[in-house]
Structure 1
């Protein structure tokens, strides 16, 4: 084990794993941001939208949550790769196509997957907000925009934090599936390193350790966010 680790260090694969971890974090952050936007919009539509809009949002969440994540990634990739390649060839963007296209597919896939779960997370958060607070704010002369900024959004994000934490952790793990369409993230870097060094156990253990550290750090951030932004709400509830 020690000899294998020394060989991996000398051959530079630790740096490759760290770059892959950076790509994993980037894809996860961009995907979860897209997913949260979808979740907030979908939750608002399910609560206050017309029945056709509610039906479309319900159909979206049902389909995405029922289909395997890998199949969604394959459908997005193979369904758009030829038009994207034709466009890149026309614009002479071949290099950009090979590097950016898998990344964009990864962000879109993670966004759609996490968004389907975020809809229910934010729907529950919306329902947890006391409507009397909105009525009181409007009675004091606040506009809809002021109510949204000062009352709805702060409470919405706080109530959604526990569920958003679960969605984030799942999105972080789902990025490993993007390696199958050519994106060099953490899992892909480990696979390439295992093939090059013939030390799969060591490379996969190192990748697992990096996933664990990323998950542990992000878990700590969510806990700190809940403690910091929940003080005022707990005092109000008391």
Structure 2
């Protein structure tokens, strides 16, 4: 098996897998960033108790969390591929359409999916902040922006870290589904390599090792962040 693995690496499939890993990280990071923006905005709306806006946010989270991730990707891809292709033809961007459209769909899909879970993560984080601290800040004349900067935001992100870690790990694995619309990430690279070399087991083991390295590495980063930002917090 070792000789076969070395042969696969020598033929360039190892580099292909590494490029796929870079694409996986790219899609996950941009998608997660979009999801965090959605999550923070949605959580703020739900905590503010604005009835109509809260109903819209609840409808979004319920719909997205009830539909399989693969179906969301298909709906986004096949629902927009023709209009985007027509626009690319008019602007002469056919190459960009071929290269980047699946990636853009991936970022949007991961963003919508992770955002639907992040709303509840950040809502819980906001509710975990002791109300007494905010009231005390008001009593000493602290402005709304200063309260946000010194009390709300630091604690919100600290309390949200464990849940955000779970959402991130899920987003990483969801990128494998985007390979079905043509994006060459880790899973797609492994499938192509398996078809070309007929060494499916080794290629999929390599793909699994890359997912494990990325997942374990990010888990360590989140744990370090929790320890760092938890200094001075009650119980830390």
Name the residue aligned to 1:173: 173
The aligned counterpart of 1:218 is 218
In the TM superposition, residue 141 of structure 1 has moved relative to its aligned partner by: 2.2
Cα displacement string for residues 53-79 of structure 1 (whole angstroms, at most 9, x for unaligned residues):
111111111110010000000000000
1:197 maps to 197
Tell me the equivalent position of 1:5.
5
Query: Unaligned stretches of 5+ in structure 2?
Result: none
Tell me the TM-score normalized by structure 1. Answer: 0.97
TM-superposition CA deviations, 1:94-132 (whole Å, max 9, x none): 010011111010000000000000111111001000112
Hey, what's the Cα distance between the residues in 1 that align with 2:99 and 2:158?
37
Residue 232 of structure 1, CA deviation: 1.5
State the partner residue of 2:88: 88
Secondary structure of 1:60's counterpart equals helix
Aligned residues: 236
Partner of 2:232: 232
1:14-44 Cα deviation digits (max 9, x unpaired): 0010010011011111111111111111111
CA distance in 2, matches of 1:139, 1:87: 56
d(CA) in 2 for partners of 1:218 and 1:135? Answer: 36
Aligned to 1:72: 72
After TM superposition, give the deviation of residue 150 of structure 1 in Å. Answer: 1.3
Cα RMSD of the aligned pairs, angstroms, is 1.1
SS of 2:184 mapped into structure 1? coil
Q: Which moved more, 1:45-54 or 1:15-24?
A: 45-54
Matched, 1:44 2:44: yes
TM-aligned CA deviation for residue 140 of structure 1 = 2.2
1:104 counterpart = 2:104:
yes
Runs of 4+ with deviation above 3 angstroms? none
Rounded to whole Å, the distance in 2 between the matches of 1:142 and 1:102 is 47
Cα offset for 1:146?
1.4
Superposed displacement of residue 138, structure 1: 2.0
Between 140-149 and 97-106, report the one with greater CA deviation.
140-149
